[in-house]
Amino acid sequence: MTTTATTLKGQPLDRTTLDAMLRRRMFYTPSFEIYGGVSGLYDYGPPGCALQQGVLDVWRKHFILEEDMLEVDCTVLTPHDVLKTSGHVDKFADSMCKDPKNGEIFRADHFIEEILENRLKGDKEARGEKAVVKEEDPKKKRKTKAAAVAVRLDDAVVQEYEEVLAKIDNYNTQELGELIQKYDLKNPATGLQPLPPVDFNLMFATSIGPSSNLPGYLRPETAQGQFLNFSKLLEFNQQQMPFASASIGRSYRNEISPRSGLLRVREFLMAEIEHFVDPQGGKKHPRFNEVKDVELVLLNRETQLSGKTHVQKVTIGQAVADGTVDNETLGYFLARIHLFLKKIGVDQTKIRFRQHMANEMAHYAADCWDAELLTSYGWIECVGCADRSAYDLSVHAKKTGASLIVRERLPEPIKVTEWEIDIDRKKFGPYYKKDGRAVELALFDTTQSQREQLAKDLAETGSINIAAPLVYYGRATIPGDLIKIEQRTRTENVREFVPNVIEPSFGIGRILYALMEHSYWTRASDGGDESRGVLSFPPTVAPTKVIIVPLSNNDAFRPFCYEISQKLRKIGVSNRIDDSSATIGKRYSRNDELGTPLGITIDFQTIQDKTITLRDRDSTKQVRATEDQILAAIRSVVDGTKTWQDIESELPAFLGQETEVAIR
């Protein structure tokens, strides 16, 4: 699919210009720039911080307060054992390969993709076809800087390359190495094949404490801290299910070679929700009804499998009813995510929810839908909404012996018939000596159907043989006099279960970047100056709500500015005074670039009759009224009860020349 990024007003978006503006206005800046910078690390400046704060405020209200979630704030430092259990030590890795000559390092899948795409491009040129400009994918790093050479390929080869590219996320490290060899893929910079790829774990390692005996990592997600606190949270929630915990905090990924600006960084802010739900009864959600009519744009797994990208716009109620979205809880959160993105000002035409393919899901996920936002880098995953099933709670419970379960009193006692194993401990211990514990664990790890078979074996042969991974040779034979295996029926009053987890996980930095692209346009769209950029953030999240601009730096204006500033602050409206010596037009332009929705001008008439003017960033139109009227208007625009159109219809227009001349 070819996509071209557009501004808020639909014109082509020039990312270079926008990026220069965002840096000039210090929305963000590369970290440690005077030391040469470090790729993948960025700082936010004042407007970036304020925008982030505004988005987090909305997030906190929309999710934590509105849904009574239990917020936790856990440490970033995480001991090795926790992340070993969660699977991150073994599986949270990318394949990396190195050029044998210049030492350049590539992510193996990106390296292969890039070279094969180049060959296909060369083939198209050789065939005289125009190469289709593919939507840029931020996952790819244009590192090899290879130019396509017009070489025609066999049709069979073209098809083979295309199949490889379609499955690129599917290969493991060894297979990627085989592809590099098979197609003789070379680094254009040196003309050499890179060394065989190796796994590179993406976690930052460190050592906790003075004696280096406690290896640890910077967490790759905030989720683990929430899982480890599950029992305490359930207790805090007075044992009531379902409930959700939430956490806002930094996470870390030691990307192999980060590019794509703010979209692929090594240190980033996440906001994650872990909603704990009973796996029985279809994962219903008590408030699903409130969102069932919310319309979402969905791109499901089947559509993608058929090689297409067409989307359907359906209500979430329908999507859950027809099984496109697996259950109410997952559906509820997709709708809530959509409403959140809408609230902060994300362009409604640039959101879609894409279901993960089976092979691209994280190791812990059972199902996953991403909220993707369309930017000049293509469709970007900004919010993941995964069903982690009972994976994490189960593995931590198993590893630590902690009871990470819910105990629910049954309305009626039930009878349970199960195969049970008794051990004759007096004989068992002495028989196995040091292997006793390992054999016992293996024995109790058997499923009901295995036990049924074992009971049969025992009756028939007088002994059983089981898999026992921790014992030498991996198997153990148990004589019949050490154990008993019987089917018994017992009465239970309490049901125990491990909750499943639905996890909406927000990449705040990515959302902020998409929001900046979606809010950007230039005055050229209104027939004005192309070089005048505007960021039309909604007042809720705008870094500063009001800029106060005296006509000049005449001392007479100072007390008026200060007084209005204080009054606005008292009603909770953030504002700044700009009394620099630039023209009013320039000062307003600066604040258009900062996304300040409203501007107040103090002029000589203010001194005479105390009236002030209020300017709208988006239309540059102004009204003039008394201070009280203007303050009331500001308050209602900022808290969202009125729009600028309402204000314009209520208060007299002001045709101030000074600002318009400068802008047009």
Tell which positions 205-224 bind a second copy, by CB under 8 A.
205-211, 214, 216, 218
Verify binding: residue 562, a second copy, rule CB under 8 A.
no
Residues 241-270 that bind a second copy (CB under 8 A): 250, 252, 254, 256-257, 266-267
Q: How far is the CB of 78 from a second copy (least distance, A)?
A: 7
Q: How far is the CB of 198 from a second copy (least distance, A)?
A: 10
Where is 42: in which H helix or E strand?
strand 42-44
Residues 238, 72: Cα–Cα separation, whole Å: 16
Task: Please calculate the CA angle 405-411-414 and round it to the nearest 5 degrees.
Answer: 80
- Contact 658/585 with Cβ under 8 angstroms? yes
Q: How far is the CB of 66 from a second copy (least distance, A)?
A: 7
Q: How far is the CB of 192 from a second copy (least distance, A)?
A: 17
Is the peptide bond between 12 and the residue preceding it cis, with omega within 30 degrees of 0? no
Helical residues (DSSP H) of 212-354, grouped into ranges: 223-228, 230-236, 288-291, 301-305, 316-321, 328-344
Print the binding letters for residues 389-408 with a second copy: x by CB under 8 A, - otherwise: -------x---x-x-x----
Q: Which residue has the tokens 């004759």?
A: 424
Quick one: which segment of 60-68, 449-457, 460-468, 476-484 binds a second copy (CB under 8 A)? Answer: 60-68
Q: Which is nearer to a second copy, 21 or 464 (CB)?
A: 21
Q: Which is nearer to a second copy, 372 or 578 (CB)?
A: 578
Please select the residue that binds a second copy; options are 4, 75, 448, 553, rule is CB under 8 A.
75
Verify binding: residue 41, a second copy, rule CB under 8 A.
yes
Verify binding: residue 34, a second copy, rule CB under 8 A.
yes
Residues 606, 611: Cα–Cα separation, whole Å: 5
Quick one: which segment of 69-77, 156-164, 444-452, 520-528 binds a second copy (CB under 8 A)? Answer: 69-77
Residues 143, 136: Cα–Cα separation, whole Å: 14
Verify binding: residue 31, a second copy, rule CB under 8 A.
yes
Q: How far is the CB of 488 from a second copy (least distance, A)?
A: 31
Verify binding: residue 42, a second copy, rule CB under 8 A.
yes
Residues 460, 419: Cα–Cα separation, whole Å: 17
Instruction: Label residue 410 exposed, middle or buried (CB < 10 Å: 0-12, 13-18, 19+).
Output: exposed
- Centroid of chain to Cα 479: 54
Give residues with Cβ within 8 angstroms of 217, minimum separation 6: 77, 78, 80, 83, 88, 89, 203, 204, 205, 206
- 3-state DSSP assignment of residue 658: helix
- Contact 494/467 with Cβ under 8 angstroms? no
Q: How far is the CB of 35 from a second copy (least distance, A)?
A: 6
Verify binding: residue 83, a second copy, rule CB under 8 A.
no
Q: Which is nearer to a second copy, 10 or 100 (CB)?
A: 100
Verify binding: residue 506, a second copy, rule CB under 8 A.
no
Quick one: which segment of 6-14, 42-50, 180-188, 648-656 binds a second copy (CB under 8 A)? Answer: 42-50
Closest-CA residue to 263 (of 466, 56, 97, 39) = 39
Q: How far is the CB of 200 from a second copy (least distance, A)?
A: 5
Please select the residue that binds a second copy; options are 5, 96, 271, 297, rule is CB under 8 A.
96
Residues 501, 404: Cα–Cα separation, whole Å: 13
Please select the residue that binds a second copy; options are 44, 111, 333, 506, rule is CB under 8 A.
44
- Centroid of chain to Cα 346: 15
Q: Which is nearer to a second copy, 75 or 349 (CB)?
A: 75
At residue 16, φ and ψ (nearest 5 deg) are -60, -45
- 3-state DSSP assignment of residue 382: strand
Q: Which is nearer to a second copy, 124 or 143 (CB)?
A: 143
Print the binding letters for residues 269-288 with a second copy: x by CB under 8 A, - otherwise: --------------------
Q: Cβ–Cβ contacts within 10 Å for residue 323, how many?
A: 9
Give residues with Cβ within 8 angstroms of 563, minimum separation 6: none
Residues 614, 620: Cα–Cα separation, whole Å: 10
Instruction: Label residue 279 exposed, middle or buried (CB < 10 Å: 0-12, 13-18, 19+).
Output: middle
Q: How far is the CB of 85 from a second copy (least distance, A)?
A: 8
Q: Which is nearer to a second copy, 31 or 453 (CB)?
A: 31
Residues 381, 352: Cα–Cα separation, whole Å: 10
Print the binding letters for residues 189-208 with a second copy: x by CB under 8 A, - otherwise: -----------x---xxxxx
Q: Which is nearer to a second copy, 33 or 492 (CB)?
A: 33
Print the binding letters for residues 109-148 with a second copy: x by CB under 8 A, - otherwise: ----------------------------------------
Q: How far is the CB of 190 from a second copy (least distance, A)?
A: 16
Residues 570-599 that bind a second copy (CB under 8 A): 574, 576, 578, 580
- Number of shown-chain residues binding a second copy (CB under 8 A): 78
Print the binding letters for residues 456-495 with a second copy: x by CB under 8 A, - otherwise: ----------------------------------------
DSSP conformational letter for 27: S
Verify binding: residue 73, a second copy, rule CB under 8 A.
yes
Report which residue type is found at 616. Answer: D
Please select the residue that binds a second copy; options are 3, 17, 39, 605, rule is CB under 8 A.
39
Task: Please calculate the CA angle 334-336-338 and round it to the nearest 5 degrees.
Answer: 70
Q: How far is the CB of 105 from a second copy (least distance, A)?
A: 5
Quick one: which segment of 65-73, 126-134, 443-451, 604-612 binds a second copy (CB under 8 A)? Answer: 65-73
Closest-CA residue to 275 (of 507, 505, 503, 59) = 503
- Contact 189/99 with Cβ under 8 angstroms? yes
